Amino acid sequence: MSILGSGIFKGMAVTLKNFVGSYFDKERLTTKEYAWRTDDKLPERAGDYPKEEAEQLRDTTTVTHYSRNFPMLLHDKGEPMDTVRCVACQICERECPPQCIYIEKSKDKKERGGNKAQFYPATFDIDVSVCMSCQICVEVCPFDAIVMNSQFELSTPDRFGGLLLRRDDLLKSNDYYHKIHPEEAAARDKRIADEKAAKEAKKKAAEAAKKKAAEAKAKAEAEAKAKEEAESITKPAESTADSPSPPPAEPPVEPDRPKKEGGTE
């Protein structure tokens, strides 16, 4: 046992080391800088953020691009409602654990970005006072329409309506998404492109197969017809009239095979 109080002095040496060290070593600093908003006026609603998106980005520089806060709706280039990806399928509304999403499907369908006409959300509300940022809506969305925003300065003086984000507040462009989450957005775009390419390739393959099948069918029909004619010459047909033509992909019927079987196969 050393002299009484030596433990305390040892500890004090540590605090002194940390105090002095904090001027030279960033790792010893206990605080992080926070980017305060420059104007002290609070917006009436969380959606009415008084700044442009670019300014918001500059303002939230302390938020890393890994931060995920509340959901937003993505739209591609162009007018938000003309290019919104959401088709109001309401899967997110159903899966949301705290039930903070409210969607109303549109009555009519609208064409967007060269795709076939789809429904769109007539109402899409997210109550951010209920949302718990679990990202399950992002996970379940089959259209990559809902992703997480990192905007965190959402305080308003109105705690009821003020924290309800409406459809138009939630709509953000894909470019904005690329700015706040570059890695994730790039990965998502790549996946969408891959899926689209795969789908098109599949479609092309299906079309080619269809074409081939049609050709084969035509060929088979022609051959069957020729054979029929040939057979009708050798002996009178018994059942050719009621037997349908053979399946398209099938090889031509063997000449020594009974005709009936070939028809019902």
Q: What SS3 state is found at 26?
A: helix
Q: Give yes or no for residue 20 binding other proteins (CB under 8 A).
A: no
Q: What SS3 state is found at 125?
A: strand
Question: Tokens for 159?
Answer: 């705690």
Of these, 42, 81, 136, 216, which contacts other proteins (CB under 8 A)?
136
**38-67: contacts with other proteins (CB under 8 A):** 64, 66-67
Work out the burial of residue 149: count CB atoms within 10 Å of its CB; fewer than 13 is exposed, 13-18 middle, 19 or more buried.
Answer: buried
Instruction: Give the separation between CA 66 and CA 57, rounded to whole angstroms.
Output: 14
Q: Count residues binding other proteins (CB under 8 A).
A: 32
Of these, 14, 192, 213, 237, which contacts other proteins (CB under 8 A)?
14
Q: Give yes or no for residue 27 binding other proteins (CB under 8 A).
A: yes
How near is the Cβ of 68 to other proteins at its closest, in Å? Answer: 3
Between 76 and 153, name the residue whose CB sits nearer to other proteins.
Answer: 153
Q: Give yes or no for residue 30 binding other proteins (CB under 8 A).
A: yes
Q: Give yes or no for residue 18 binding other proteins (CB under 8 A).
A: yes
Q: What SS3 state is found at 75?
A: strand
Q: Give yes or no for residue 16 binding other proteins (CB under 8 A).
A: no
Between 142 and 236, name the residue whose CB sits nearer to other proteins.
Answer: 142
Between 84 and 146, name the residue whose CB sits nearer to other proteins.
Answer: 146
Of these, 44, 55, 111, 183, which contacts other proteins (CB under 8 A)?
183
How near is the Cβ of 26 to other proteins at its closest, in Å? Answer: 11
Residue-wise DSSP of 168-186? HHHEEEHHHHHHHSHHHHH
Amino acid code (one letter) for 163 = L
Q: Output the 3-class SS for 192-243.
A: HHHHHHHHHHHHHHHHHHHHHHHHHHHHHHHHHHHHHHHHHHHCCCCCCCCC
148 neighbors 72 (Cβ within 8 angstroms)? yes
**79-98: contacts with other proteins (CB under 8 A):** 95-97
Of these, 48, 139, 221, 238, which contacts other proteins (CB under 8 A)?
139
Q: Give yes or no for residue 190 binding other proteins (CB under 8 A).
A: no
Q: Give yes or no for residue 249 binding other proteins (CB under 8 A).
A: no
Instruction: Give the separation between CA 225 and CA 231, rounded to whole angstroms.
Output: 10
How near is the Cβ of 133 to other proteins at its closest, in Å? Answer: 6
Q: Measured at the alpha carbon of residue 46, what is the angle toward residues 44 and 98, in degrees to the nearest 5?
A: 135
Residues that bind other proteins (CB under 8 A): 4-8, 10-11, 13-15, 17-18, 27-30, 32, 64, 66-68, 95-97, 132-136, 139, 148, 183
